[in-house]
Amino acid sequence: KQWYQRRVAITAGIIMLLGFLYEKIAYYLTDWENHRTQTVYDDSLIIKLFAFQFVNNYSSLFYIAFFKQNVANNGLFNQTEWKDTCDFEDETGQQLCYPMLVLQVAILLIMKPMPKFFKDVVIPTLLHLYKKFFKGKKDKSLETGPEKKELIDIIEEDRQLIAGDNDFTLSEYTEKTIMYGMIMLFGAVFPLAPLIALICNLIDVRVDGYRILWKNRRYIAQRAEDIGIWQYILEFLNMVGVVVNSLIIAMTLTKNGSILDPYYDSPWAVAFAFEHVCFIVKFVISYIIPDVPSDVQFKMRKEQFQVNQLFEKGPANKGSEASTPAANGEGAAV
């Protein structure tokens, strides 16, 4: 059991290491493509990052969920000497891999935020303590009086802060999307995944807010029309999540007196029915609930109408105001 837990932890560590390497490769490949506009560059980079992270984070989970149990019982390519055991067995002595899947999902959800926490909290705190206790003593030895503190203005203080990430928004979207995909794809296996993700995000919001306001230099704001290609990626994860959860539920059916007992011998029918019911409900809800509420649409149309009215009346009013004094002056001169 100890080796089993170590193996799962080692797998999670390798996933995080490969994720770091894949990120560097994605930036290199996108720079090499030499895109003309920033929008095209960002879309290409996002696709590469998501594709790399999708395969890196979910491939082991897909293997454990759908392939490892067969390999553990029958061997790879039905070769009995090539078996990958799951370290768990059911009542009949067959290998059971879903406890390993649950533990793998849990460890990934808990360990994934650790590198970011170390980079955003531990390292800045150590640098702050170093500047405070070591460099601060040297600076105080050079001061001749309390008036020296007034020479440091706000710009200089901001310059001495830690430089923020250039791709802060992109890294945050990537991290949250991978976490969202893990919840959508394997939420049926580990029901506590949404709770863990919620706790991690609550902590992450406070940490990011603190370091942006107090520890990092001020970021340069950039306007964006919407979240861009991330919208399609999230929709893709929703679709894949329905299919994966349908297959997981169908492949883990047991006779326990439920309404699915008659379909125990036909798991594909259960997966097909569950998947289509979820898709129908999803599309019905999407059709009933608009993306933009009706009151917001009305206010947007009203604002656009008022802006158009100002543009139409503005030059005319200025022309009439300019012509009125001239006309009065001409009448007075006559």
Cα separation of 58 and 61, whole Å?
5
Give dist(CA 6, CA 99) in Å, integer.
14
| Residue that wins the pLDDT comparison between 132 and 44 | 44
Q: In this predicted model, what pLDDT tens digit does every residue of 158-210 receive, in sequence order?
A: 666 666 666 778 888 888 999 999 999 988 888 888 898 899 889 888 888 88
Neighbours of 186 (CB within 10 A): 25
Q: Return the closest-CA partner of residue 270 out of 252, 246, 244.
A: 246
pLDDT at 256: 55
SS3 89: strand
* Residues whose CB is less than 8 angstroms from the CB of residue 33 and which lie 6 or more positions away in sequence, other chains included: 41, 44
Q: Answer yes or no: are the C-beta atoms of 101 and 252 closer than 8 Å.
A: no
In this structure, of 22-36, 42-56, 154-168, 277-291, the range with the lowest mean pLDDT score is 154-168
Nearest alpha-carbon partner for 232 in 81, 47, 54: 47
User: Does 139 have pLDDT greater than 60?
Assistant: no
pLDDT at position 145 is: 45
Place 32 in a pLDDT band, splitting at 50, 70 and 90: very high
Name the residue with tokens 């293997």: 63
Of residues 236, 216, 132, 127, the one with CA closest to residue 168: 216
Q: pTM for this structure? A: 0.74
